[in-house]
Amino acid sequence: MPPNQRSQTKAPGGFLPHPLDQLTIEEIGKARNIILGLHSATSIGFRTITLEEPSKKILTMFLSAEHKGELSSVTWRPPRRARILFELISKDGLVELCESVVDVGTGLEKSFEVLDKKCHAPLNAEEVAMFPEVTMASPLFKKAISELSLPPNTVIVIDPWMYGGWENPSEDCPRYMQGLVYARDPKTTNPDSNHYAFPLPLIPVMDVAKKEIIRIDQLPTGGTEDGLEVGTGSKEPLAHCKACEYVPELIPGGLRQDLKPLNVVQPYGPSFTVTGNSLVEWQKWRFRVGFNPREGATIHDVWYDGRSVLYRLSFSEMSVPYGDPRAPFHRKQAFDFGDGGAGRAANNLELGCDCLGLIKYFDGIMNDVHGKAVISKNVICMHEQDDGILWKHTNYRTGRAVVTRNRRLIIQFIITLANYEYIFAYQFDQAGGISLETRATGVVSTVPIDFGKTSPWGNIVSPGVLAQNHQHLFCVRIDPAIDGYENTVVQEESHPLPFCPEINPYGNGYEVRKTVMKTSGFADAAPQHGRIFKIVNENKHNPISGRPVGYKLVPSPTQLTLAHPDSIMAKRMAYASHHLWFTKHRDGELWAAGPFTNQSSVERGGVKDMADRKENIENDDVVVWHSFGLTHNPRVEDFPIMPVETHQIHLKPADFFSKNPAIDVPSAKNQTSILYKKGGLVSSFVTEVPQSHDGDRRKSILIVDDNSTDSIAVQKTQQQGIKACCM
């Protein structure tokens, strides 16, 4: 069947959304109206209205029919359901956080729950906007500011923050927010000036329900000699601060002028196709792109050359704990997915800026506090990217080389959370591999430090500015479908054999030790043993090797949580205590740190709880979670903007294919590559490229300096080198 018939079923009113498509504007409106009709209260505040993905058992039956080309107008479809997180606010001001699942087709509420008082919804845009307004109007805050000696006409800037962990787990905790306080450059008060270079020693704390600042926490500003003491600083906190700008027009001396354009050109269009709202086909890959307020972009139903590889792939959580032990910095911990939402914070990407080349954008459909649908434009970009050589070999006897370029398909989204930016990308290659990439950039979170002092808890990145040591602890969720949904995880290590005449007489031998993960649990990276993990299908074997078909994951041996295991910080992010977790699939279990992280005291319903069930995962519906991190002890070079810190993890086929699956990638010579000649590029001539694998004979332009006596020699060398270079 053609792709559009495979991906959607025609209904009397037109094409129905695919079961994995985001909720439409109309569906969000229906879900909202169902809740308004069922629940009476003085007011209802909507947090999230998002697709409730069909149960795996039901969805896989539909997907099977889709892949077989058996869909028709009468094919049974999984119901379209929405999960709604909302607040019921009574006349006396009592707020109850509730969660419902509704069927937007039938209008029925399938489930309803009033959540525990310890559960707090993620922050929303209205609260983030409200916090600075409430703070600036607060008598407590005005008094605290008046006690500081600030330059005339100082403009205050406030970064709203989640409150962090609640210190007494036995208490029901009110909904709080806190904020870091800064000033604009007093000399310019430019709204785009880098306020992080002018930190003030205050943290206001707000009771969200009361819309009231309940206290102002004074920050410790001392150095190594002051320990945990507060109140060591001057009443002139900005006296020794200086501007440190990143906005182009504010940078002293301007921008460098010697950079020439570097363009990505695809004159024949992209090699991918997009059908409907989510189906992507590229090379031999076929998958769907999803999006939701918490995870941002998600990948579903991944197939390669007609074989299933993954059921679902996502970035599940990220926690950023700070390592400064001085109060109130022990509360400085953000869960950027659970506390705020990666989708909510996703950038509206700009053509020619965030992604280069021929770009396909996907929009996100979310909701506002009134439950009305909001379209967020261009939250995902998809494009092709050259990533160097994919494979090459030279027959030294004949001088002939065959080389192919490694083209990747990138699905990327970028989030901004106050000071930091994070870039997340799923990368598909032509050899059956998938990489997940994270990049951290933006501005390091800063606090004030007294003049002339240094601190063991961070680094001075600008006069009077301390960038605190912290970690970025990520977790990705891998729901495999290696030739089916019954898979097994096998740990493999390489160890030296004993030096003995019976089995290793020359001492060069080593063995591969395999351990089958039979029940849910955890494991850690061990690079000293070459530890990898293979996700295999024991029911299907490779015709060449005889081993089970599979994919391998090489765990990233990064440092995990440094917070003490008994601390609230560590308890809230138990997922970050081990590199790998293996759990049995249950519908709805998508969050490494549990469904509710905001002001949590412990990880509830997270991956540790799932693993502790000790369920069978051998030859079963297993889910693999990989935690990895960046321990960030800031450099001066990280300010005013941090150059990207990049991290990748890789899933690669392991005995999944009968040979290199990229052996048929064309090795045609690039048409636009030219020689550099000192003295300038003056003119060009055209040379033919030998026939490529796809039978397409194309011309390549070679530009040389006509005034050079080497031009003929260059031409000859170039023509002779074509065969050796590509074919």
pLDDT tens digit sequence for 463-477? 999 999 999 999 999
User: Which residues 6+ apart lie within 8 Å of 495 measured at CB?
Assistant: 510, 511, 513, 529
| Catalytic residue flag (residue 226) | no
Quick check: 385 pLDDT over 50? yes
The confidence score (pLDDT) of residue 16 equals 82
How far, in whole angstroms, is CA 344 from its chain's centroid?
13
pTM above 0.85, yes or no: yes
pLDDT tens-place string over residues 293-337: 999 999 999 999 999 999 999 999 999 999 999 999 999 999 999
Torsion of CA 260, 262, 268, 273, to 10 degrees: -150
Residues 460, 449 contacting (CB under 8 angstroms)? yes
For the segment 565-571, the average pLDDT, to the nearest whole number, is 97
User: Which residues 6+ apart lie within 8 Å of 608 measured at CB?
Assistant: 574, 575, 577, 581
Quick check: 719 pLDDT over 70? no
Residue with tokens 């079923």: 9
Confidence label for 726 from pLDDT (cuts 50, 70 and 90): low
Rounded-to-integer distance, Cα 353 and Cα 419, Å:
20
Residues 433, 184 contacting (CB under 8 angstroms)? no
Rounded-to-integer distance, Cα 378 and Cα 363, Å:
5
The confidence score (pLDDT) of residue 33 equals 97
Q: How many C-beta atoms surround the C-beta of residue 543 within 10 A?
A: 9
- Which ranges in 152-250 belong to alpha helices (H)? none
Residue with tokens 């870039």: 423
Domain 125-250 sits in CATH at 3.10.450.40
Quick check: 195 pLDDT over 70? yes
Sheet hosting strand 446-448, strand order edge to edge: 446-448, 465-468, 458-462
Pick the catalytic residue: 301, 336, 450, 621?
336
In DSSP terms, 394 is beta-bridged to: 401
The confidence score (pLDDT) of residue 707 equals 39
The confidence score (pLDDT) of residue 249 equals 94
The confidence score (pLDDT) of residue 727 equals 54
Instruction: Read off the DSSP letter of residue 336.
Output: I
Residues 260, 268 contacting (CB under 8 angstroms)? no
Confidence label for 386 from pLDDT (cuts 50, 70 and 90): very high
Nearest to 467 by CA among 299, 642, 284: 642
For the segment 567-593, the average pLDDT, to the nearest whole number, is 98
Rounded-to-integer distance, Cα 280 and Cα 411, Å:
10
Pick the catalytic residue: 176, 196, 322, 420?
420
> Which residue ranges make up each domain of the chain?
25-114, 125-250, 280-322+333-444+469-487+518-654
Class of domain 25-114: alpha beta
Share of the chain above pLDDT 70, in %: 91
Rounded-to-integer distance, Cα 490 and Cα 299, Å:
24
Residue with tokens 């490494």: 592
CA dist list (Å): 551 to 232, 283, 407, 488, 534: 56, 19, 20, 11, 6
> What would you report as the CA-atom Rg of the chain, rounded to the nearest whole angstrom?
29
Rounded-to-integer distance, Cα 141 and Cα 155, Å:
14
Q: Do domains 25-114 and 125-250 have the same CATH topology?
A: yes
For the segment 265-278, the average pLDDT, to the nearest whole number, is 95
How far, in whole angstroms, is CA 3 from its chain's centroid?
29
Rounded-to-integer distance, Cα 442 and Cα 420, Å:
4
The confidence score (pLDDT) of residue 4 equals 37
For the segment 628-640, the average pLDDT, to the nearest whole number, is 98
Give residue 594's identity as a one-letter amino acid code.
Answer: G
Confidence label for 534 from pLDDT (cuts 50, 70 and 90): very high
Rounded-to-integer distance, Cα 338 and Cα 317, Å:
7
For the segment 383-391, the average pLDDT, to the nearest whole number, is 96
Mean pLDDT for the chain overall: 91
Confidence label for 701 from pLDDT (cuts 50, 70 and 90): very low
- At 583, list the tokens: 């759990």
Helix (H, G, I), strand (E, B) or coil at 399: coil
Q: What is the 3-state secondary structure (H, E, C) of 278-330?
A: CEEEECCEEEEEEEECCCEEEEEEEEECCEEEEEEEEEEEEEEEECCCCCCHH
Q: How many helices (H) and strands (E) does the chain have?
A: 8, 35
- Which H or E run includes 366? strand 360-367
Q: What angle do CA 348, 353, 356 make, to 5 degrees?
A: 110
Rounded-to-integer distance, Cα 27 and Cα 80, Å:
9
Give residue 155's identity as a one-letter amino acid code.
Answer: V
Phi, psi of 480, rounded to the nearest 5 degrees: -80, 160
| Catalytic residue flag (residue 301) | no
- Which H or E run includes 570? helix 568-572
For the segment 106-131, the average pLDDT, to the nearest whole number, is 96
- Which H or E run includes 85? strand 81-89
The confidence score (pLDDT) of residue 462 equals 98
pLDDT tens-place string over residues 241-254: 999 999 999 999 99
Confidence label for 669 from pLDDT (cuts 50, 70 and 90): confident
Helix (H, G, I), strand (E, B) or coil at 628: strand
pLDDT tens-place string over residues 158-190: 999 999 999 888 788 899 999 999 999 999 999
The confidence score (pLDDT) of residue 94 equals 87
**Omega before residue 191 within 30° of 0, cis:** no
Residue with tokens 């896989």: 60
Burial of 355 from C-beta contacts in 10 A (0-12 / 13-18 / 19+): buried
Q: Strands, E, within 481-545: which ranges?
A: 488-496, 510-517, 521-523, 532-541
Residue with tokens 């000699």: 225
For the segment 275-292, the average pLDDT, to the nearest whole number, is 97
Residues 631, 471 contacting (CB under 8 angstroms)? yes
Phi, psi of 7, rounded to the nearest 5 degrees: -90, -20
- At 196, list the tokens: 């992080």
Residues 379, 363 contacting (CB under 8 angstroms)? yes
Rounded-to-integer distance, Cα 21 and Cα 77, Å:
13
Quick check: 692 pLDDT over 50? no
- Which H or E run includes 26? helix 25-38
How far, in whole angstroms, is CA 51 from its chain's centroid?
20
Quick check: 135 pLDDT over 90? yes
Q: Which CATH number fits domain 280-322+333-444+469-487+518-654: 3.40.50.720, 3.40.718.10, 2.70.98.20, 3.40.50.300?
A: 2.70.98.20
For the segment 529-552, the average pLDDT, to the nearest whole number, is 98
The confidence score (pLDDT) of residue 419 equals 95
Quick check: 698 pLDDT over 80? no
